[in-house]
Amino acid sequence: MNRVPEGFPEDFLWGGAVAANQLEGAYTEDGKGLCVSDINEFHDDIALDKKYNEEITSTYINEALKNEGRIFPKRWGIDFYHTYKQDLKLLAELGLKTFRTSINWARIYPNADEKEPNEAGLKFYDSLIDEIIKNGMEPMITISHYEMPLHLTTAYKGWYSRETIDFFVRYCKTLFDRYKGKVKYWIIVNQINLIIHESFNHLGIAEDVVDDLVSAKYQGVHNEMVACGLATKYARQVDSNYHIGMMLCGGPAYAATCKPEDVFATVRRNQMEYFFSDVLLRGYYPGYAFRYFEDNNINVKFGEGDEEALKNTADFMSFSYYYTRICDAQSVKQKQTAYRNPQLPANPWGWTIDPIGLRTFLNLFYDRYQCPIYITENGIGYYDKLEPDGSIHDLYRIEFFKTHIEQMKEAIKDGVDLRGYYTWAPIDIVSCSSSEMSKRYGFIYVDIDDYGKGSGKRYLKDSYEWMKKVIKSNGDDLSI
């Protein structure tokens, strides 16, 4: 009889996760092309809980390219392109066992449709990956993390066009060939279920270039999942040691009430969140998806060979966890799908804090897929105050991580095969959803403001020493 685990596995991967577009900067350096995130604009006159990336039109793209008096913070990030050696050293001293970052597609294929990659871009990632390994950290690489070359949007309608499948597979092959023996863990697409809040950043489909945006989104995700299958098949041919993962954002919602109508509406809503992982981990479209498409007049076309490509399933599941939501029959009917739980505390941006929800998701995902799981993003944004002596007292962040790590430990005792945990983000970076620096996540403070001003100097927050202790004890010492 197997005994209940008492703590984290000895080889548990304690890590940190970032995205190239949110920290590298140098947005036109060494031959890089523009990517979709380079036109994410910062606005200082919008309510905090309304700050998120919306749909984008071709007119907006053209206006953004004029760059007249507008603020695009992801173009400068935290200048990681030039400071990565110093930053990785600080992260290694934190004790991280692994570091997740993305490769900016537009650095490798500036327009996506080139026949040959940009060697200068590859050389940067050669050096970056070598430095990660040199600092004793296992690299986990995300291939697509909101960094689609902008040219794919303006010339091909992003993932809606089947041409993008071939462009993306070529890009993947370049990386799999180049980093054989150096990178073991890969996530092909970040948060593949985000087709609402990160619709344009994810799929690159301008809303005014298609007749039916909802159908276009699902067609885009279909094309993307086919590309994932083809890329996974190739990866296994290159290196049998590659571990290929898929990634969701969050997970199922809670039913707002115990009314049968609300419970079943929540089931239906959650099925279409599972849809993406069901396809990528099981290898085929589930029946509920066809019913959803029929009920909502959504048209998804399969190409020849698509069903066979989808059979190349991922090796592990990963997901980001920030908050939970609730829903009911009326909200699903009105396409709101899910909303904030008023019973839970939240940060200034309205992101609720629900540590038990993390344990819930871990159990639900593992029950469904019975495969290794990695939490590839978990964190919370807060305003941090830099004191005159250079200290940052962020007890709120320590308490957040303490309660979530406690629930991870409980999930492992439940039998969940949890292999790794990546905090988002271990160093302050530009926010994905609101393109601001003041929404800070890191254990390391970066002295840059929302307008790109500041010394750029790095400071260690109180949470840095606390997390260092947690990792050193392999999660046993969570005392504050």
Residues designated as active site: 377
Q: CA-CA distance, 247 to 195, in Å (whole number)?
A: 13
Q: What is the DSSP string of 159-176?
A: GGSTHHHHHHHHHHHHHH
One-letter amino acid of 58: S
Using DSSP, state whether 316 is helix, strand or coil. strand
Output the CA angle 41-46-52, nearest 5 degrees.
Answer: 55
Nearest to 141 by CA among 179, 101, 88: 101
Question: Contact at 8 Å (CB) between 96 and 87?
Answer: no
Q: What are phi and psi of 181, to 5 degrees?
A: 85, -10
Give me Rg for the CA atoms of the chain: 21
User: Dihedral, CA atoms, 448, 450, 451, 456, nearest 10 degrees?
Assistant: 10
CA dist 48 and 459 (Å) reads: 26
* Omega prior to 155 cis, within 30 of 0: no
Unique residue bearing structure tokens 């920290």: 23
